[in-house]
Structures are given as structure tokens and as C-alpha cells.
Amino acid sequence: CLGGLLLGEDKPLSEFDLREAELFEALGHPTRIRILQALNEISLNFSELKREISIDSSGHLTFHLSKLAGLVKTNTEGKYCLTDSGREALRIAKIAGEVLKIPGNSEDICVTSFIIMAIGFNIGGFIPLALGNLSTAASVFTASLIFLLASLFYSTRHYRQIKSRAKH
């Protein structure tokens, strides 16, 4: 996996690694997290979604929707809605936010997105669970939780140092 590349192993990425990387890339942008949040309860057409997430450019929304392929789809009415994978991806993003005890402002969503990407690139994701492999999913979850807590400790400490410097 990508973690192996960081250790200097010389092996090609498997199809699983590429799907995993694409998933966490999709979750790695605040606008895409907001799209998933907006579509969690209700289906929206393009204009409604654009207005709901306060994005000005139709091109930007189209770009972000294309990055969410497989997580977002259009229903029979032509409105955007979450797929089962999209609901699971949003659940993972919410768990990361709850662990961090983040209120929903945009800076905090950026931090959540970064941590989700870090988990995906360095440890793994929820794909084993989606594929029905519970023992692998449990191992990935445990490792992810350890990494998440370490990231939380580091980022909170770093954030406090930055705030402290800004006050002086």
C-alpha cells in the first residue's frame, strides 16, 4: 500500500490500493465533505445543491461531483443523492469529526479532511468492511483509531502552539 511506498518498498500499487487512494482523495476536500453532508438527508438537483453548499461556480461543483463518483449518484428524478458507499464515507468523516470534537466551521472541516486522507494513505480504509471482511476491518479500524488519536494529539498540540504565538 502507499505506506509501503513511504518505507521505500519497491512494489507497484495494487487495484485495491488505487481504489483506497481514490476514496480518500474524494474525502480529502472540504467542499466534497459539504456535498456529502448536504445530500445526507435529501436529494437535490444541481442548482439546489449549488445553493445549499454556497458554491458560486458551476464548473467547480461539476468537478467536485466528478471526484465523488461512486459516492454520489443521480436518482430517477435527476436529483443527486448518496449511494450506500457515500453514506458510509460520510459516516467515517463524521466519526473523525466526533473524535476531534469539532464544531462545523470550514477550518475544522479542513482538519477532518486531512486526517481522513492520512488514515487512508497510511493505514487503510473502510473498504474491507464494505467487502464483508470483518476481521480485516477490525484490524484496520484498530490501527486507524491509534493513528487518529496520535494525529489528534499532535494536531491539537501544534494548533495550541500556533494560537499561543498569535496572541503574543
For the chain, give every domain's residue range: 2-167
Q: With contact defined as beta carbons under 8 Å apart, do 109 and 30 qualify? A: yes
Least confident of 16-30, 83-97, 110-124: 110-124
Q: With contact defined as beta carbons under 8 Å apart, do 121 and 79 qualify? A: no
> Is 122's pLDDT higher than 50?
no
User: Which CATH number is associated with domain 2-167?
Assistant: 1.10.10.10
Interatomic CA distance for residues 84 and 1, integer angstroms: 25
| Whole-structure pTM value | 0.54
Report the pLDDT value the prediction gives residue 68, as an integer from 0 to 100.
Answer: 94
Plot region of 138 (φ>0 → left; ψ -120 to 50 → alpha; else → beta)? alpha
